[in-house]
């Protein structure tokens, strides 16, 4: 019988079945209340189980540092200078005194997070780190537990499989995390239970309708600026297709109101996590060398740009000094009605009914592309305009992106936006 994310076991290793990688990744965006926080791990061949474990723990520590102070909210606003270090250590110890956290471990982690130190050699054994990091990461996302969704690459040797499974079992038993294997079949793991995942109904529908292959480049190419007639931004809710965000700074050429919804969504050759094609979007072969990108992926924290998104971080820095950008909120959730699936919105101006999406390369995968199209239509029916920018756009011309946002948001406030007219 298929199980939801909230029904999958923690504290042990299982193999997942019943869904492709893209559908799994999409379903992680809206976890049920009782589910653990789910991080993803793009596995690769390791020489030993201990080396694999050390690699995972190191990346989990890096993630915990990046997510600070979400797991220690009382430390918000404390600066690293002066008495700052002592203050966060005291807060961490106080938090630990009333919870299952191990005080010395979280105090050291809080200090490293405050001062921006990269995790390095530690005085704590791997067992303490594993359990401590699982608790910290669960706290960061307001969940009771954590699970690691492991994308198994194709082409692992029998020995590589043995090493991977042994490392995963150690992590599950010592940390209490669920360790869930997906991707390539692990031939030598007959002792592991295989569990079918029950996808949310809308994700299952997309998975049935769309094959899991990347959208052809000809379909996803950016639309040339000015090639389409304008549509007014104050049209009735639902009549606006997604606003393309790759036009010049002084124009926002929208699509015709009768065009197929989502037909002009800019789907880039993106950057955020290289080309990720596993449960978190990544796809490395067993012998493929790493490119320096992290193997651990994790969701955003409500109210903040994603720590691992250079594009979101850069955009927030640019907006922080702009008075017109007041009222923005990062990584908020939206639900059309009680039975609808919850969407996470990258950036939102709620009063202005403006949603901004920052898209990386996984958005050109077929399942994600179709989900974006359907989501944008629903948001427009709910009265929102949707502007999509690519990571590459933000990296190459941040000023133009900010000008476009300023023009749209400020004109929404005054009710004057009507698009750009071309003779």
- Local confidence band at 250 (pLDDT 50, 70, 90 cut-offs): very low
Round to the nearest angstrom and report the end-to-end CA distance of the chain: 60
**What residues contact residue 220 under an 8 Å CB cut-off, 6+ apart?**
266, 267, 268, 364, 369
Q: Can you read off the two tokens belonging to residue 90?
A: 């005291």
The label of the residue with tokens 């692992």 reads 156
pLDDT tens per residue, range 79-121: 998 999 999 999 999 999 988 999 999 999 999 999 987 666 7
More confident position, 257 or 228: 257
Residue 72: phi, psi to the nearest 5? -140, 65
Residue 231 confidence (pLDDT): 32
**What residues contact residue 392 under an 8 Å CB cut-off, 6+ apart?**
268, 269, 270, 271
Tell me how crowded residue 393 is: count the other CB atoms within 10 A of its CB. Answer: 22
What does the domain layout of the chain look like in residue ranges?
5-200, 210-272+309-414
The label of the residue with tokens 């030993």 reads 48
> Is the pLDDT at 9 greater than 90, yes or no?
yes
Q: Give DSSP secondary structure letters for 318-340.
A: HHHT-GGGTTEEEEEEE-SSTTS
* Strand pairing category for 193-196 and 243-244: unpaired
Cα gap 368→326, rounded to integer Å: 30
> Is the pLDDT at 299 greater than 50, yes or no?
yes
Give the CA count within 13 Å in the CB-facing half-sphere of 214: 19
Which range is least confidently modeled, 18-22, 197-201, 230-234, 337-341?
230-234
- Local confidence band at 225 (pLDDT 50, 70, 90 cut-offs): very low
- Local confidence band at 416 (pLDDT 50, 70, 90 cut-offs): low
Average pLDDT, the chain: 82
| Mean pLDDT for the stretch of residues 142-149 | 97
Does residue 135 contact residue 295 with C-beta atoms inside 8 Å? no
At the second CATH level, the architecture of 210-272+309-414 is 3-Layer(aba) Sandwich (3.40)
């Amino acid at each position: 019988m298929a199980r939801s994310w909230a029904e999958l076991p923690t504290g042990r290793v299982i193999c997942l079945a019943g869904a492709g990688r893209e559908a799994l990744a999409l379903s992680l965006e809206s976890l049920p209340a009782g589910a653990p926080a789910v991080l993803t791990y793009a596995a690769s061949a390791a020489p030993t189980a201990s080396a694999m474990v050390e690699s995972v723990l190191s990346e989990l520590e890096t993630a915990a540092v990046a997510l600070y102070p979400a797991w220690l909210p009382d430390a918000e606003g404390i600066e690293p200078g002066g008495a700052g270090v002592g203050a966060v250590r005291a807060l961490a110890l106080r938090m630990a005194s009333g919870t299952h956290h191990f005080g010395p471990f979280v105090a050291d982690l809080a200090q490293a997070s405050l001062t921006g130190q990269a995790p390095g050699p530690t005085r704590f054994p791997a067992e303490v780190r594993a359990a401590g990091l699982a608790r910290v990461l669960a706290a960061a996302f307001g969940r009771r537990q954590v699970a690691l969704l492991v994308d198994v690459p194709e082409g692992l040797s029998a020995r590589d499989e043995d090493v991977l499974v042994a490392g995963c079992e150690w992590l599950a038993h010592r940390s209490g995390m669920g360790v869930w294997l997906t991707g390539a079949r692990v031939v030598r793991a007959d002792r592991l239970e295989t569990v079918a995942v029950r996808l949310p109904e809308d994700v299952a529908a997309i998975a049935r309708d769309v094959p899991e292959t990347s959208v052809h480049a000809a379909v996803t190419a950016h639309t040339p600026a000015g090639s389409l007639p304008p549509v007014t931004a104050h049209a009735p809710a639902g009549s606006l297709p997604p606003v393309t965000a790759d036009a010049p700074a002084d124009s926002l050429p929208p699509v015709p109101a009768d065009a197929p919804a989502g037909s002009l969504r800019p789907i880039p050759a993106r950057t955020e996590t290289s080309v990720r094609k596993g449960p978190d979007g990544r796809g490395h072969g067993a012998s493929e060398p790493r490119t320096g990108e992290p193997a651990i992926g994790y969701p955003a924290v409500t109210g903040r740009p994603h720590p691992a998104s250079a594009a979101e971080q850069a955009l927030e820095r640019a907006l922080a000094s702009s008075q017109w950008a007041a009222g923005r909120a990062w990584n908020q959730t939206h639900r059309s009605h009680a039975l609808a699936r919850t969407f996470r919105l990258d950036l939102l101006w709620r009063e202005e009914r403006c949603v901004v999406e920052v898209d990386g390369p996984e958005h050109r995968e077929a399942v994600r592309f179709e989900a974006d199209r359907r989501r944008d239509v629903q948001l427009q029916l709910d009265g929102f305009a949707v502007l999509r920018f690519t990571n590459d756009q933000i990296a190459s011309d941040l000023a133009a992106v900010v000008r476009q946002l300023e023009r749209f948001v400020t004109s929404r406030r005054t009710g004057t936006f009507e698009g750009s007219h071309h003779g």
